[in-house]
Amino acid sequence: MIQILRNQWSRDQAEKLIVDYAKSEKLYFWLASVFSNLSEKDKVFIINLSLDPVTSPQHENTALGYAQYFWVQTIGCYLMQLEEEKLLSVLNKIQHLKIVVELCVNYNASDKNYDLLLHHTQSLFASNQDLTFFRSIQWFRFFLKNKKWSPPILSSIHSTNITPDQLDIKPFSRMRALHILSHHPTFCAYSTIQQDIHFFRKNKSYRESIVFYIIEICRALCYVKKDAEAIQILEDYNRLYQGNIGFWASIHRNSLQLYASWAFALNNQKEKAKEYYHQFNPSLVENFQEECIRKDHMTVKKLLNT
């Protein structure tokens, strides 16, 4: 049936394929491969139908396959390249936009389409978990664009008192990083991070996505030149988790190599920095944080003179 649909598109056949094979990884790779050749109406049709079986990826233990992730990134790329008028028209027709926002986090602060997507979906983020996730994206984008804080945002960040047992790790991690970025340079982040690490050590369910936490925190520490604290947290992480880790953690760990390299470079440990840098594979960065990571990558290259 896939071969038939590649050669001759049919909504009925596509619907049967999606209904019958919603749990198949191959389905989502196929959707991504045929997507560019569809009309706008058929694109909206296939987006709505294919996202029906995809559960919200924000929560810690949601089983989201790489092919599903790749498919939602395809949807996000499509939305980002539309003209503004067309984008607004399409957004009004697409269901499950919350899933797209949760997966397609875009740190490119100059991308106005993403701002429109956030504005269009804001009402969908209602719980404490949702709001922390949503605001942390908005505020980090503001920081990357302006390199400083507005008084209202600064006040909001400092009034957001959360602990890892209150939120799943991704919104918690990003908000924790914002606390580090927004505090006075004399603020000692390490004691706060130690409390988090202690919680993760006791709660093994966070084993996979602890890497996401370390990335967000290490990046923030590098931004504010707290390289000694960044190195310490990397050493704590290496002691905390040894041996094999799952697929998603391995993808995150690739990005972590870059921020480890940055931390050691800032600390004038160039050989150690180069050791981590050579383990970083830029081709594995396949999400909407790529613009942010690309700029950070250029910073590390300059520090290492590569």
Please check whether residues 151 and 226 belong to one and the same domain: yes
Residue bearing the bigger pLDDT, 41 or 6: 41
Please check whether residues 211 and 272 belong to one and the same domain: yes
Q: Which one-letter amino acid corresponds to residue 51?
A: L
Query: Six-digit token pair at 118?
Result: 């956030």
Averaged confidence pLDDT in the chain: 87
CB count in 10 Å sphere of residue 43? 18
pTM value surpassing 0.75: yes
Confidence tier at 2 by pLDDT (50, 70, 90): low
Please report, rounded to a whole number, the percentage of residues in the chain having pLDDT higher than 90: 50
Q: Cβ neighbours of residue 289 under 8 Å, at least 6 residues apart?
A: 105, 106, 107
Highest mean pLDDT: which of 24-38, 106-120, 158-172?
A: 106-120
Q: Cβ neighbours of residue 115 under 8 Å, at least 6 residues apart?
A: 141
What is the C-alpha to C-alpha distance for residues 142 and 147, in angstroms, rounded to an integer?
Answer: 8
Please check whether residues 57 and 96 belong to one and the same domain: yes
Contact 49, 18 (CB under 8 A): yes
Contact 68, 18 (CB under 8 A): no
Please check whether residues 201 and 142 belong to one and the same domain: yes
What is the C-alpha to C-alpha distance for residues 85 and 230, in angstroms, rounded to an integer?
Answer: 44
- Asked which of 12-26, 92-106, 268-282 is least confident by mean pLDDT, the reply is 12-26
Please check whether residues 132 and 115 belong to one and the same domain: no
Predicted pLDDT of residue 258? 96
Predicted pLDDT of residue 57? 63
Query: Six-digit token pair at 153?
Result: 């945002």
What is the C-alpha to C-alpha distance for residues 266 and 170, in angstroms, rounded to an integer?
Answer: 26
156 pLDDT higher than 60: yes
Please check whether residues 37 and 111 belong to one and the same domain: yes
Please check whether residues 184 and 279 belong to one and the same domain: yes
pLDDT digits 0-9 by tens, 196-216: 988 888 887 777 778 889 999
> Could you tell me the residue range of the domain that residue 256 belongs to?
127-306
Predicted pLDDT of residue 115? 94
DSSP codes of every residue in 207-223: TTTHHHHHHHHHHHHHH
Query: Six-digit token pair at 203?
Result: 């709660």
Query: Six-digit token pair at 216?
Result: 């967000």
Q: What is the rounded average pLDDT of the residues 226-243?
A: 85
In the listed set 84, 106, 124, which residue is the last one of a domain according to the structure?
A: 124
Please check whether residues 33 and 101 belong to one and the same domain: yes
| CA 207 from centre of chain | 17
Domain count, the chain: 2
Predicted pLDDT of residue 201? 82
pLDDT digits 0-9 by tens, 46-79: 999 998 877 666 654 455 677 888 899 999 999 9
25 pLDDT higher than 70: yes
In the listed set 80, 108, 124, which residue is the last one of a domain according to the structure?
A: 124
Confidence tier at 131 by pLDDT (50, 70, 90): very high
DSSP codes of every residue in the chain: -HHHHHHS--HHHHHHHHHHTTT-HHHHHHHHHHHTTS-HHHHHHHHHHHHTTPPPTTSTT----HHHHHHHHHHHHHHHTS-HHHHHHHHTT-S-HHHHHHH-----TT-HHHHHHHHHHGGG--SHHHHHHHHHHHHHHHHHHHSS--HHHHHHHHT----TTTS-HHHHHHHHHHHHHHS-TT---HHHHHHHHHHHHH-GGGTTTHHHHHHHHHHHHHHTT-HHHHHHHHHHHHHH--S---HHHHHHHHHHHHHHHHHHHHTT-HHHHHHHHTT--GGG--STTHHHHHHHHHHHHHHHT-
Q: What is the rounded average pLDDT of the residues 3-26?
A: 77
Please check whether residues 149 and 271 belong to one and the same domain: yes
Please check whether residues 116 and 156 belong to one and the same domain: no
Q: Cβ neighbours of residue 263 under 8 Å, at least 6 residues apart?
A: 218, 221, 222, 227, 230, 231, 234, 273
What is the C-alpha to C-alpha distance for residues 182 and 143, in angstroms, rounded to an integer?
Answer: 9
In the listed set 69, 89, 124, which residue is the last one of a domain according to the structure?
A: 124
Please check whether residues 192 and 285 belong to one and the same domain: yes
Please check whether residues 45 and 135 belong to one and the same domain: no
Residue bearing the bigger pLDDT, 106 or 186: 106
pLDDT digits 0-9 by tens, 164-195: 888 888 889 999 999 999 988 778 888 889 88
pLDDT digits 0-9 by tens, 258-286: 999 999 999 999 999 999 999 999 888 77
